[in-house]
Homo-oligomer: A and B are copies of this chain.
Amino acid sequence: MVQDALPADRRPSMADVAREAGVSGQTVSRVVNGRVNVDDATRQRVLDAMHRVGYRPNSAARALRNGQFHSLGVIMSTLATVGNSRTLNAIASAAVPRGYSITLMPVGHTTQGEVTGAFSRLNEQLVDGVVVLIDEHELDHSEIQLPHGLPVVVIDSNPRSDYPMVDTDQAQGAELATTHLLDLGHRTVHHLAGPRHSYAAEHREKSWRATLARHGRQVPEPLSGDWSAESGHTLGTTLARNPSVTAIFAANDQMALGLLRALHEHGRRVPHDISVVGFDDTDESAHFWPPLTTIRQSFAEVGRRAVDTLLTEITSGAHEPTSINVPTTLVTRSSTAAPPPRTPS
């Protein structure tokens, strides 16, 4: 009972379904794509045949035919930071209901060559557009060879970019954090900054600086970490040893965690002796000890807006470098309080 002479490992194609159902390939195509103008009986016959032969559309052919992959590339440096991970999640959640899947394109070290390489691979790699999630200055002065005509949206990066941008309002968030501490009565606020090559870190630091200046406060030298709890701990140790410090704004929650540990190790009580504010509002930060007051940024909103922007670009063809800022909110928990009464010297 030989079925046919086909190589057994070939996936069934439209032609196979058509033969099985006794119709033309075109009719199968119409059924698959839900076109009208197909008789109900025929449609059912085709559906049955599809099921019987185990047909699934070949999207390579489909993509070739109509020039669309229904997939978005996300080019990112690392999944290790909570922020990137949550943003990616948000992008995926926004893209999937719109019928797009996500293709990851991680780049190790952000040297110019690597990013460009990733882009060309991405361009080969079946995507209709790209979300750039690389928060690095390097992207800036490189003459990055973006594939011509590939829609791009940038999250959290180069302020002088020619591409549409979506970002959390870093400046507003940092101001919120700093003002909160000032309002509590602290004379000034120290800053545990993010890495120097990060735009997000730069914006947060600048805004912290500006807020202090606006209130006429002294601006202490910030310490730069790398977003990791480890760096927060190392740098936090320095801060913990400085008795004049009463308030610290950490550039993210992970560094705040390391900072809290350093503070505990040196017997500085939080918030009694020192207040700490983080940035991100990680799921975990409510359970730090003490629970962390922090700036909540809406990763979901950023992801959604980025996908929306990109999809508009893709479908309309237009690409005006718009710029969207998503505001943050202050989440007050137990790591901040009024400063201790001044010890009379």
Contacts and interface: CB of A to CB of B under 8 A. Distances in A.
Interface stretch (A87-95, A177-185, A190-198): A87-95
B283 A260 contact: no
A86 to B, nearest CB: 8
A106 interface: yes
A56 interface: yes
Contact of A56 (B70, B123, B229): B123
Interface in A147-200: 147-149
Given A105-B101, A289-B261, A126 B123 contact: no
Interface string A280-295: 0001101111010000
A88 B79 contact: yes
A125 B85 contact: no
Contacts of A289: 260-261, 264, 288-289
Contacts of A286: 229-230
Interface stretch (A20-28, A61-69, A206-214, A304-312): A61-69
Given A60-B69, A79-B85, A103 B105 contact: no
Contact of A229 (B79, B92, B283): B283
A48 to B, nearest CB: 16
A102 B103 contact: yes
Contacts of A105: 96, 101
Contacts of A320: none
A257 interface: yes
Interface residues of A, number: 60
A225 interface: no
Interface in A230-288: 230, 232-233, 254, 257-258, 260-261, 264, 283-284, 286-288
B106 A103 contact: no
Contacts of A260: 287, 289
A80 B257 contact: no
A121 interface: yes
A104 B104 contact: yes
A148 B50 CA distance: 13
A317 B9 contact: yes
A113 interface: no
Contacts of A317: 9
Contacts of A92: 79, 104, 106
A57 interface: yes
Contacts of A63: 60, 63, 126
A188 to B, nearest CB: 26
Contacts of A80: 86, 89, 283
17 contacts: A11-B149, A56-B120, A60-B126, A63-B126, A79-B88, A88-B104, A102-B104, A103-B103, A103-B104, A229-B284, A229-B287, A230-B283, A230-B286, A254-B284, A257-B284, A261-B289, A284-B284
